[in-house]
Amino acid sequence: MGEEKTQKEEKATIIVKNVDQEVKETLKNIAETSGKAISEVVREALKLYVAARETGAQVVKGIAAATKQVISEDLITIKNIGELSLSKDDIISFEKKIAFVNIDKLEFADDVTPDLFKEKVEQIINVKELIVPKTLPKALFIPKCSYVNKIIQR
């Protein structure tokens, strides 16, 4: 007989001391413009940092290498958006591969083909809800995802 385990999201209080005034102001501004609490902005920043650390062996070379891996010159980074829907034509219009970062709801239209997705979408990081057409195999898009709360195939 196997034991049934339930997974609870555990939250702990972490106190961060000696935060630069500039960082504090930036966090405050991001929170105000996004309508989120500062604690939520900090949690998202920590998730993004952890995701960057997990993106590959280059991260071991330091913070600069991690930044290049996540937000490289060879990528177009689309970030900090509430809701975004993209069609085949939208994706084709981008000249480089795309990284989607910190988006509440990201939706790919039914006309987005597996080949186009593979060619143009590099990473999907910190997305609350990802909606993809059933024509996209899970093996194609799941490896590109980090910190995605909910995936819907329609």
Residues 88 and 138 in one domain: yes
Amino acid making up residue 36: K
Consecutive 10-residue runs of the chain (154 residues): their mean pLDDT? Answer: 51 80 84 84 82 56 47 80 97 96 96 98 96 97 95 96
Residues 87 and 52 in one domain: no
pLDDT at 81: 94
- How many domains are contained in the chain? 2
Expressed as residue numbers, the domain containing 49 is 19-70
Residues 78 and 48 in one domain: no
Residues 65 and 131 in one domain: no
Instruction: Enter the tokens of residue 4.
Output: 């049934």
Residues 80 and 149 in one domain: yes
Residues 127 and 107 in one domain: yes
Residues 88 and 31 in one domain: no
pTM tops 0.75, yes or no: no
Residues 112 and 132 in one domain: yes
Residue 111 lies in a domain: yes
Residue holding tokens 């929170």? 31
Residues 140 and 64 in one domain: no
Residues 121 and 103 in one domain: yes
